[in-house]
Structure 1
Amino acid sequence: MSIQATRYSLGGDEHLFVELSEAMSLKSFFKGMMMTRALREKNLLGITEICPANASFQIRFDPDMLSVQHIISVLKDIEAGLGEQDMCLDTRIVEIPVLYNDPWTHETLMRFRERHQDPSSTDIEYATRINGFKDVADFISAHSQTPWFVSMVGFVAGLPFMFQMVEQQKQIQVPKYLRPRTDTPKHTVGHGGCFSCIYSVRGAGGYQMFGVTPLPIYDPKQRVTHLSEFMIFFKPGDIVKYKPITRTEYDQILVELSNNSYRLKSKPVTFSLNAFEQEPIAYPQQLLEALYVD
């Protein structure tokens, strides 16, 4: 997959926006990750923030200390140095339990049916139908059996955007609501376009709602073990495996979280973009196997 020529544009006096592609792909995401990582390693005096996104990134800088022309020159040198090398990332794969078809998102979606493309069905039934799955169980299996790549964290504090690691023609795609809801339960597993997400807080939203996870993914008070190092759980580059659970399992996890005995399943992995592009079916499954090997 080719990527368009990189575009540079100013956002006021202190921000440089770098667009790598108009469409999301793992290749454009990895290019952005490698460019921003190399830029951080240079420790240029005057750069105050670097924020990666799905197919772009933004840099905040002090124009009294560093010219935008110099930043662009450095970035062009970094980009030229990438060449055709294999883009690898040392990251982690994590298992996220999900109660699909839960009562809380169901109650919410029923309150906003007039804003939906298909008021006669639920969000997950609608997604099942337009993606050509035979039934909801088949859809849940497809949604949970392949890994998802966290390409961006933000918009709302701690909210991850995730890209399904399958061939493009097999990606689950669902439009957002016709008009956004004014309410979405915290920890809702949503989907809009080709992106999955987990709502980190309760609030407005327009993504289709498939279920909820019991796991907190954002907590400024850092009250659970998996948030002890930082208040935001997800990082760009994380690989996510959704695990369907029952209501009983959901309630049990809440109990374990309350007494801090729950242990999230996570393993370090090295992701190779070349390996994924060469074996888009077998390679993600190899990554998933690593999650369950002691």
Structure 2
Amino acid sequence: MAPDNIRLYPLGDAAIVLEFDGRISPATHRAIQAVSTYLGQHPFPGLREYVPAFTTLTVYYDPWVLSENGQQPYERVSEILRRLLPAAQASEATVAAKKVEIPVCYGGAFGPDLAFVAQHTGLSIDEVVAQHSAPDYLVHMIGFAPGFPYLGGMDAQLATPRKAQPRPLVSAGSVGIAGLQTGIYSLPTPGGWQLIGRTPLRIFNPEWKAPSLLQAGQHLRFVPISEAEYQSRQQHES
């Protein structure tokens, strides 16, 4: 994506948003990851944090550090980002070459909405499981809750609307579908996604050096397992 096509606008008085495209796509994701990777390798004075999303990258900065020589902090950050964008996008964003396998026990108590998804889509339960576990998914972003991955690549035939009444508590590790998206609940939280299974893996732990098992730019595949395998893996994770 050409740097001139990236729109910049302020978010409050200490952040700037880079809008890459209005469409969620692998190309947009790669462009965002390239700039994120470059910022991580070449931070500018006053940079606090950068947060990638589906079609945007939000850069947080320290206005005090960037208010030198009477120049407005936002104008200075805009200038810095415009200057680095060509070099950033010329670089390759290689966040993670390794594919992560996520074991999932589908249905039963772990996936109470699997039958509803099958009914809604006109597929059998086995077909839903087969189609959901077939693709390589791209982690577009982490959001909603710490460690929660928003994934791209789900078969459109599996699209199912959110629940009309969200659950007050969804167990960590639950795998759900909402519209054209699928994701994994990283923590026990309220949620309205249709739950089709659960992984025994812990995907978020604030005590880990890297608290989130998954990162934007990684690829993953769901691997169906039995309830006995789930129990065995969960004991290992505990």
Q: TM-score, normalised by structure 1?
A: 0.70
Contact 2:128 2:158 in 1 (8 A): no
In structure 2, relative to structure 1, the CA distance for the partners of 1:33 and 1:130 (3 Å cut) is: same
In structure 2, relative to structure 1, the CA distance for the partners of 1:70 and 1:55 (3 Å cut) is: same
Q: Which deviations, in whole Å up to 9, do the C-alpha atoms of 1:80-134 show, x marking residues without a partner?
A: 4567x6955241211110000031442xxxxxxxxxxxxxxxx3234334445x3
In structure 2, relative to structure 1, the CA distance for the partners of 1:221 and 1:87 (3 Å cut) is: closer
- What's the CA shift for 1:2? 10
1:220 and 2:200 are equivalent in the alignment: no
2:114 to 110, 124, 131: 124
Give runs of aligned pairs for residues 189-200 of structure 1, distance below 5 A: 189-200=175-186
Contact 1:4 1:20 in 2 (8 A): no
Match of 2:222 in 1: 242
Q: Distance in 2 between the 1:62 and 1:3 partners?
A: 24
Contact 1:39 1:75 in 2 (8 A): no
Q: Distance in 1 between the 2:2 and 2:75 partners?
A: 26
Match of 2:149 in 1: 160
The count of corresponding residues between Structure 1 and Structure 2 is 231
The runs of 5 or more residues in structure 1 that have no matched partner are 107-122, 223-228, 259-294
Match of 1:251 in 2: 231
In structure 2, relative to structure 1, the CA distance for the partners of 1:18 and 1:5 (3 Å cut) is: same
Q: Distance in 2 between the 1:21 and 1:154 partners?
A: 19
Moved more, 175-184 or 7-16: 175-184
Match of 1:25 in 2: 25
Q: Distance in 1 between the 2:166 and 2:154 partners?
A: 27
Match of 1:73 in 2: 79
| 3-state secondary structure, aligned to 1:12 | coil
Contact 2:165 2:192 in 1 (8 A): yes
Match of 1:100 in 2: 106
Q: Distance in 2 between the 1:242 and 1:196 partners?
A: 11
Contact 1:190 1:211 in 2 (8 A): yes
In structure 2, relative to structure 1, the CA distance for the partners of 1:65 and 1:201 (3 Å cut) is: same
Letter in 1 for 2:125: V
Letter in 2 for 1:101: G
Contact 1:105 1:184 in 2 (8 A): no
Letter in 2 for 1:102: G
- What's the CA shift for 1:34? 0.7
Q: TM-score, normalised by structure 2?
A: 0.85
- What's the CA shift for 1:5? 3.6
Letter in 1 for 2:35: M
Q: Distance in 2 between the 1:209 and 1:2 partners?
A: 40
Match of 2:197 in 1: 211
Q: Distance in 2 between the 1:4 and 1:100 partners?
A: 46
1:175 and 2:161 are equivalent in the alignment: yes
In structure 2, relative to structure 1, the CA distance for the partners of 1:81 and 1:44 (3 Å cut) is: closer
Moved more, 147-156 or 92-101: 147-156
- Structure 1 stretches of 4+ moved >6 Å: 1-4
Match of 1:268 in 2: none
Identity among equivalent pairs (%): 25
In structure 2, relative to structure 1, the CA distance for the partners of 1:41 and 1:90 (3 Å cut) is: closer
Q: CA RMSD in A?
A: 2.7
Q: Which deviations, in whole Å up to 9, do the C-alpha atoms of 1:116-153 show, x marking residues without a partner?
A: xxxxxxx3234334445x31111111110111111111
Match of 2:55 in 1: 55
